[in-house]
Amino acid sequence: MQKLRIALGFSIAFIAVWIAAFTYIKFFPENPFPDYTKDVGKVSIVATIYPLAWLASDLDPSATITTIVGPGIEPHDFSPTIDDGKTMEDAELLIVNRMVDEWVMDAIADRKGQTVSVMEMLGFPSLEDPHVWLDPILAQQIVKDIGHQLEIFDPTNTEIIRENVLKKITILQGIDDRYRLGLASCSIPEIVSSHDAFGFLAKRYGFTVHSIAGLSPEDEPSPSKLVELTDLIRSHHITTVFFEELASPALAKTLADETGAKTDVLDAIESLSSEESERLEYPGIMEKNLAKLKAAMVCTE
């Protein structure tokens, strides 16, 4: 009798296990234990230029970021390789400026994935000046938009993406605060720069930039433009002619020699141009630029 009870107990338990398993499989036919490790490195982000890669960085912990234009390379006249073209084509999320990197348009003609075009996103589809990343307020807009795109690609990380977007916006707001304060009161609110990269920055903080070349560093100024700049530097007592590490300093030096002004480097952060800039990254380079602008424009806080 005892043995019969034990046998009956086992049978009931056995049947119960089968019913439970059958019910589970019926109602949860998919993999019941999703493998979350598969999500690591899920979103592949490709940015054409360094500043956009920096703005997209550290937002989604499961994203990888690749930059097409490497350190020390000037992006205006860059030519992507076949491999670069493939990298851009295969990216899940491609972030482009669309003007400083006009070469991207051919490379992505057949692309099916999502593309964020920063100039279009900011509402400047036909504006010629592409250097929007130098304005920390516009940069905040870019971060927000990239954050929204990442939430669509990676909804499991929505909360952490939003937190990281806020952290990055706080960094950019800090830069804006320091520029506002640092450039509020300047005796000579004018500079000369080699290529016309600082228009957005100047407009945001209320100073004037006279450029030697045009919006691209390859644009050559006319002789009459150089005479005009020489007169302007003298009559407005402009102290500094800025040039960039990735462009030739020859014309800036000639103008400075002619007028008695100084020369200095102002970084347009189009790519990382030196070991120091690689260490400083976007926020550090912005701070370094601010110190140079304050000195050049004779600003007091």
- Site residues (vs Zn ion, CB under 5 A): 197
192 in Cβ contact with 212 (< 8 Å):
yes
> What are 225's two structure tokens?
């433009």
Judging by DSSP bridges, how do beta strands 208-211 and 114-117 pair with one another? unpaired
- Residue 97 or 140 having the CB closest to Zn ion: 97
- Residue 252 or 299 having the CB closest to Zn ion: 252
- Residue 160 or 215 having the CB closest to Zn ion: 215
CA dihedral of residues 50, 53, 55, 56 (deg, nearest 10): 180
- Residue 197 or 251 having the CB closest to Zn ion: 197
- Give the angle subtended at the CA of 28 by the CAs of 27 and 32, to the nearest 5°: 160
- Residue 165 or 197 having the CB closest to Zn ion: 197
Tell the smallest beta-carbon distance from residue 193 to Zn ion (Å).
10
Tell the smallest beta-carbon distance from residue 74 to Zn ion (Å).
8
Tell the smallest beta-carbon distance from residue 242 to Zn ion (Å).
13
Residue appearing with tokens 């996103």: 121
Tell the smallest beta-carbon distance from residue 195 to Zn ion (Å).
6
Q: Rounded to the nearest 10 degrees, what angle do helices 136-153 and 158-182 cross at?
A: 180
- Residue 133 or 153 having the CB closest to Zn ion: 133
Tell the smallest beta-carbon distance from residue 269 to Zn ion (Å).
10
- Residue 168 or 195 having the CB closest to Zn ion: 195
Tell the smallest beta-carbon distance from residue 37 to Zn ion (Å).
42
Beta strands across the sheet bearing 43-47: 63-67, 43-47, 93-96, 114-117
Tell the smallest beta-carbon distance from residue 247 to Zn ion (Å).
9
- Residue 69 or 165 having the CB closest to Zn ion: 69
Tell the smallest beta-carbon distance from residue 199 to Zn ion (Å).
10
Residue appearing with tokens 């957005």: 200
